[in-house]
Structure 1
Amino acid sequence: MLLVSNSAFNIFHFRKSLWKMLLKEGYEVIALAPADGKEQGLKDAGLRFVDLPSLQQYGNGPVSDVLLYRTLVSKYQELQPDLILHFTIKPNIYGSVAAKKVGIPSIATITGLGTTWLNGVLLRKITQMLYRYSLPASNVIVGQNAHDLESLQKIGVKANEWQLIPGSGIDVNEFAPTAPVVAASAKQFLFLGRMLIDKGLEELFNAWHQIHHLLPDAHLLLVGELDPQHPRCIPEKIWQAGIALPRVVYHDYQEDVRTYIDRSQVVLLASYREGIPRSLLESMSMGKPIIATDVPGCRELALPRKTGWRVPSRSSAALAEAMLQAYRSKPEELTQLGNNGRKLVCEGYSEAIVTQQYLEIIKELLR
């Protein structure tokens, strides 16, 4: 099995459930990605790692993409895997075509259509054209939410087979509520993720600016990477103004986020679009109610009066109102929302469910 992504980090963290299952089933697993420090963890786990620096996250134009395609063809011919699993946009586009050229079956997993669907008409049209051309070369197209699959179908993408697999799989034993569960008022709100404008950080800061004086003993905690090189990184001016607000606390990327989830009462994600956000799944698995936007990938998880609050995208006022409602909720109400959320994850988004779906597709392709 060959897993291809735009970073070793992506394979190490987000595909862990998948490669753990593949290793357990007796497959040899190779990871093909740019080295970024996480490759040693993959090697220690029993994977073979092949460095591919040209498969970078942020592209440099059509010439580099043509060279990337040729490099992938060469690597696939050299490695000769039985099956290739592509993740992230460039592997899905160029890897699918390269795999077909060398006669190796492949699976393209669409983990979200966010950045390219949201930003810039020209970029969106180019990406849609590339998807229409490349994705039919894969044997199976996997989407993490139904809306993304429908969006691809609407722009004319033809598939040999469509599959809906809800996320990358959560280890519900690793992300479990602290025992005993102690009901508490909402005194700490947590945002967990990369510091990108598309995650709704500007709206979150605006909401906190509107209500922080009404929540004198509450804090807003931000945990995740701030990467100025990312094309959608939150602008410096907005970032500095946001973290300067009262009782806003920022922590950089954390290898283990469970401590931060555990000591928060409500987890927020005001994203403009998602696949299935892992930050919400992990938090719900730990029994935390959520506030999230009514967009693909989030609306499936944020069930009003059941798992938390669902608010319109790009609305600071609605987000502020939901935070106020959470703050004013009784501890037992928050506990019940959290229990419902964990039940939802266990029954629909656990790694056992996700990996079994992948395993069935893989075995069918190998047959």
Structure 2
Amino acid sequence: MKPTILLVSNSAFNILHFRKSLWRMLLHEGYDVVALAPGDGKEKLLEAAGLRFVDLPSLQQYGNGPVSDVLLYRTLVRKYRELQPDLILHFTIKPNIYGSIAAKKVDIPSIATITGLGTTWLNGVLLRKITQALYRFSLPTSNVIVGQNAHDLEALQKIGVKAKEWQLIPGSGIDMNEFAPNDLGAPYLAKHFLFLGRMLIDKGLEELFNAWHQIHHLLPDAHLHLVGELDRQHPRCIPEKIWKAGIDLPRVAYHGYQENVRKYIGRSQVVILPSYREGIPRSLLESMSMGKPIIATDVPGCRELAVPRKTGWRVPARSSAALAEAILQASRSKPEELSQLGSNGRKLVREGYSEAIVAQQYLEIIQDLLEKNKAQQ
């Protein structure tokens, strides 16, 4: 029987959607795959796919405080001893920190995946310093630290994080058959722009609304669509005043969270992500896989995908004026120019970010660790 691999994240949703290429590959190879995360309604889909699911209600995405974190660590130690996996893969910040230490405590090899340094790197000096200290203490206990872009790995190294092994794996893997081009969003049909992501201030939503405010009167046949979760519990959720003013602008439509984003991507002319920092944004990869040009910021995680005159437009972060100009340029581009940008983007995804490439990279790391661990026993 193949070894047991444990995937730990802050939600069943995260494992279901963002780790799909990984657990598909592991199941195909015959591994026993267990998901450990807070239940959120998606656990049944994981079980139907062939994973075992173990609930972890003590892992709160936005909870903070030393008492709750100590309790989480103790819970993880207990769970790891009960489940006795051969290898643990941690995703998202709290599993990466406390899960890595817990895995070391019970002598189980582990991998920490940094999917983006995000909010704690961008906002609040005290929070950033605390997080960096926790990373310096916890991440070296992992056998491998995986980053989705080179900038994040360099940033970790600069703050003094030591690693037994560094690995760069670009993203979470895109199923290019699932996210394939269609004719719903042929660029000559209409000027529809799409923002796809959580409604957070760090995603550049304020700049997007300001840009739209500047130019909507110049584009009377253009529409801006927003798809993603508006989670008021998230500490970086867009402020109510900014949100209300933004969605009240002419021809702006908010569609909420959507399980199936393909139809929204397919009906869009261009996909926009004016984020302040990313790992490798899945929303852009999915859109590029479907042949859509993109507008994104010149920040880690986005600049790798938004290649000027090749896949779309790259603009400075936090600049509404530059974002507005890029939207105007995109809206005035010829259909064949947009089609070529979209084709280039799909090619970029195929060559570097597809499901097969990412899953194979993880599989090689996993097999290597399992072999090393077996040899040491």
User: When the two structures are superposed, what TM-score results if normalisation uses the length of structure 1?
Assistant: 0.99
Change (3 A) 1:183 1:232: closer
Q: Distance in 1 between matches of 2:227 and 2:119?
A: 21
Which residue is equivalent to 1:120? 124
Which residue is equivalent to 1:238? 242
* 2:190–2:221 contact (8 Å) kept in structure 1: no
Q: Distance in 1 between matches of 2:196 and 2:274?
A: 11
Q: Distance in 1 between matches of 2:276 and 2:187?
A: 31
Matches within 5 A, 1:249-264: 249-264=253-268
Q: Secondary structure at the match of 1:172?
A: coil
RMSD: 1.0
- Residue identity in the other structure for 2:95: P
* 2:199–2:228 contact (8 Å) kept in structure 1: yes
* 1:185–1:330 contact (8 Å) kept in structure 2: no
Alignment pair present for 1:150 and 2:192 = no
Alignment pair present for 1:347 and 2:351 = yes
Q: Deviations over 1:99-120 (max 9, x none)?
A: 0110000000000001110010
Which residue is equivalent to 1:269? 273
- Residue identity in the other structure for 1:310: R
Which residue is equivalent to 2:210? 206
Q: Deviations over 1:83-130 (max 9, x none)?
A: 000000000000001001100000000000011100100000000000
Gaps of 5+ in 1: none
Q: Distance in 1 between matches of 2:185 and 2:36?
A: 41
- Residue identity in the other structure for 1:55: L
- Residue identity in the other structure for 2:296: A
Alignment pair present for 1:90 and 2:101 = no
Q: Distance in 2 between matches of 1:252 and 1:227?
A: 10
Q: Distance in 1 between matches of 2:212 and 2:187?
A: 24
Select the residue among 19, 23, 48 that pairs with 1:15. 19
Matches within 5 A, 1:1-367: 1-178=5-182, 182-184=186-188, 187-367=191-371
Q: Deviations over 1:325-359 (max 9, x none)?
A: 00010010000000000000000000000000000
* 2:171–2:353 contact (8 Å) kept in structure 1: yes
The alpha carbon displacement at 1:60 in A equals: 2.8
Q: Secondary structure at the match of 1:29?
A: strand
Q: Deviations over 1:276-328 (max 9, x none)?
A: 00000000000000000000000000000000000000000000000000001
Runs of at least 4 residues off by over 3 Å:
179-183
Q: How many residues align?
A: 367
* 1:140–1:163 contact (8 Å) kept in structure 2: yes
* 1:185–1:327 contact (8 Å) kept in structure 2: no
**Identity percentage of aligned residues:** 86
* 1:186–1:266 contact (8 Å) kept in structure 2: no
* 2:184–2:267 contact (8 Å) kept in structure 1: no
Gaps of 5+ in 2: 372-377
Q: Secondary structure at the match of 2:112?
A: strand
The alpha carbon displacement at 1:247 in A equals: 0.1
The alpha carbon displacement at 1:148 in A equals: 0.1
* 2:12–2:38 contact (8 Å) kept in structure 1: yes
Q: Distance in 1 between matches of 2:162 and 2:276?
A: 26
Which residue is equivalent to 2:374? none
Change (3 A) 1:180 1:313: closer
Q: Distance in 1 between matches of 2:190 and 2:69?
A: 48
Q: Secondary structure at the match of 2:243?
A: helix
Q: Distance in 2 between matches of 1:180 and 1:170?
A: 20
- Residue identity in the other structure for 2:162: K
The alpha carbon displacement at 1:222 in A equals: 0.3
- Residue identity in the other structure for 1:273: R
